[in-house]
Amino acid sequence: MDRTDYLPHIAYDSVIFGFSGDKLKILIMEYHNTKLFALPGGFVGIKEDLNDAVRRGLKERTGLDDIYLEQFYTFGDMARFKPEVMKTILQAIDDNVSDDHWLLERFISVAYYALIDYEKVVPRPDAISDSCTWYDVDGLPKLMLDHQKIVNKALQTLRQNLDHKLTNLLPEKFTMKELQSVYEAILGEKLRRTTFQRKLLASDLLVRHEKLYNGGAHKAPFLYSFARSEDLRS
């Protein structure tokens, strides 16, 4: 990386959420030969929009480009400035790292979270990582710098106005049980089935479709999808 290609002192970190059917997952990178775990992130090209840089990084890690993305916070505490951590990462690739390398300078990070279809992703490590892997949100490895703080803030933000953010974590059509499972995975708590269903069915969020027949007909659940704006007008 040539420092002249990137904006100085600006980075981004992405909390990439996926739902496996019963667990909320996050993509985590492990840097080469360091045992350091981190959120996928990167830097902004000198002639690149910030959002475009983040989308570029997400496509490189997931193979997807149609992703729900939301900027939620900027992290710039002095406590996150630990040049020795970045030097460890760089030295795992090249022993000849000078003390004035530009990546050892202080960076603030603009944080985003992304909601993606877990089934469509084949995670891809970058050139300086050994792996890019899904982890349960409640079973993350110890993350470097302030990345756990970033995850916690992303979860807090995701839980706000949750009803309007789940389209990208579920298939186009889903059962009420699947919908409740993703709510419980994000909120980290069990919900009363009757209360949950009553609330959702009384809202304008869902469209009901045919039943899903996969066994006894009397047990077949209805399928639902999230209402689009044209559904609400009809």
Convert the pLDDT of each residue in 118-140 to its tens digit.
888 889 998 889 999 999 999 99
> What pLDDT is attached to residue 127?
85
- Structure tokens, 171: 């298939």
Distance of CA 3 to the CA centre of its chain: 27
- Residue 230 pLDDT: 40
Query: Are the CB atoms for 154 and 113 separated by under 8 Å?
Result: yes
At residue 59, does pLDDT exceed 90? yes
DSSP string, 26-91: EEEEEETTT--EE--EEEEETTS-HHHHHHHHHHHHHS--S-EEEEEEEE--GGG--HHHHHHHHH
Average pLDDT over the chain reads 88
With a cut of 80, say whether residue 109 has pLDDT above it. yes
Per-residue confidence band for 218, with pLDDT thresholds at 50, 70 and 90: low
> What tokens were used for 11?
């980075």
For residue 69, how many other CB atoms are within 10 A of its CB?
Answer: 16
Lowest-pLDDT choice from 71-75, 187-191, 201-205? 201-205
Residue 188 pLDDT greater than 80, yes or no: yes
Q: Which residue has the tokens 């269903």?
A: 197
| Beta carbons within 8 Å of 52's beta carbon, 6+ residues apart | none
- Does the pLDDT of residue 217 top 60, yes or no? no
Look at residue 50 and tell me whether its pLDDT is greater than 80.
yes
Buried b (16+ CB within 10 A) or exposed e, 125-146: beeebeebbeeebeebeebbbb
